[in-house]
Amino acid sequence: MKLEDIKKIAVIGSGAMGHGIAQVCIMAGYTVVMVDVKQEFLDNGMKKVKESMDFLVGKGKLSAEDKDRMMGQLSTSLDNKAAVADVQVVIEAVPEIMDLKKKVFADVSSAAPAEALLASNTSTMSITEIATAVTKPERFLGMHFFNPVNRMKLVEVIFGEKTSAENVDLLCELSKKIGKIPVKVLKDSPGFIVNRIGAPNQALISAILDEGAIKPDEIDAIMKQMGMPMGPFELADYVGIDVFYHTLKYYSETLSKDFTPGKTLQALLDKGDLGMKTGKGIYEWEGGKAKIDTSKTSTEITPMEFLAIQVNEAVRVYKEGIAESVEDIDQGMVHGMRAFAGPFTLAAGTDPKQLTDTLNKLHAKYGLDIFKPEPEIQDGSFKTMGK
């Protein structure tokens, strides 16, 4: 199959990710059927797509005629098998439950055309394991969008053990056609590229909360002064303490026990203080904003600590063969995390000794081996990796 052969796409799931994926596909000219288990879910998904398109019309970025034409390309269905009978691509965006994803793809792979690409939008789960439910697993792969889909440019296109390179290349072409920037993930590894590189900083946040010596406000304040829209603790609350906790737990089971969520996160989860969505988490929230005291900034934990950890993990990701190049890693962090620049670019002018000393200090302080500096950090050779 070639890119020009793709005419119709099925999106399984109509939640925040699903309806966002459907929107970018119809805006690129594709016919799309959005599938879910309840009509009310589909109605809400259609409403969200229309609201987003109306916003673009109001901003003068889309004509009313084009909006109506695009909305006419979007239909809904309650029947997985019927919906995929004549599509060339299926993109699944159902909840992160392995058994559910396997059931969806068992149904879909038996009903879709034999050459149809089957892609999961999972942000954490093993592509290789989901593929065990699929006939012809060489056509199954990951297509990880970032939220909100209509604004975030990155798509991680992920190999499973049996995925063919031709199908990855085709999905990369499709990603570009719908206005995204694809980055290949060569190895099906927890967190893929972007979330994996951010994982040790999540562990640092948990460790700081448990130690209790530094107020989260002091760290978020200095991050905001550096131009970041949100500090790391505010972002944890914004994403949801439940999501933050379960992500760390997953990494503790698949990567290292060092990622085990701490007692503070556990207590917040147990109390139901989940951040913005409940009005209280690490911070209290009011009117969609966290109450943060920015009058004092931390001198112990600064942006350098977060950068050192990120560069160190980026080195591991490259050495493990998960990313094709350091440029892909940097591009992934820029377009997937809205970073000013990627870790290799940011650290290019940094003294390796400063990075090494920072990581050794964190390792000594918190006792987590994931903070130990890689040899390439210590000798500065990370600056020439892949060159």
Which residues are part of the catalytic machinery?
A: 144
What residue type is assigned to position 282 of the chain?
I
Residue linked to tokens 């019309």: 57
Q: What is the dihedral of CA 226, 227, 229, 230, to 10 degrees?
A: 0
- Which residues are 284's β-sheet partners? 280
Q: What is the dihedral of CA 29, 33, 36, 41, to 10 degrees?
A: 60
**For residue 255, what is the DSSP state?**
T
Distance CA 131, CA 151 (A): 29
Distance CA 382, CA 318 (A): 10
Q: Tell me the HSE value of 197 on the side-chain side, using a 13 A CA sphere.
A: 29
Which of 25, 9, 143, 12 is closest to 87 using CA atoms? 9
What residue type is assigned to position 74 of the chain?
L
Question: Tokens in use for 103?
Answer: 């059931």
- Which residues are 286's β-sheet partners? 289
Stated length of the chain = 387
Residue linked to tokens 């990710």: 17
Distance CA 187, CA 123 (A): 14
What is the distance in angstroms between the CA of the first residue and the CA of the last residue of the chain?
34
- Which residues are 35's β-sheet partners? 12, 77
**For residue 150, what is the DSSP state?**
T
Which of 178, 169, 180, 148 is closest to 29 using CA atoms? 178
| 91 and 9 Cβ atoms separated by less than 8 Å | yes
Q: Tell me the HSE value of 22 on the side-chain side, using a 13 A CA sphere.
A: 33
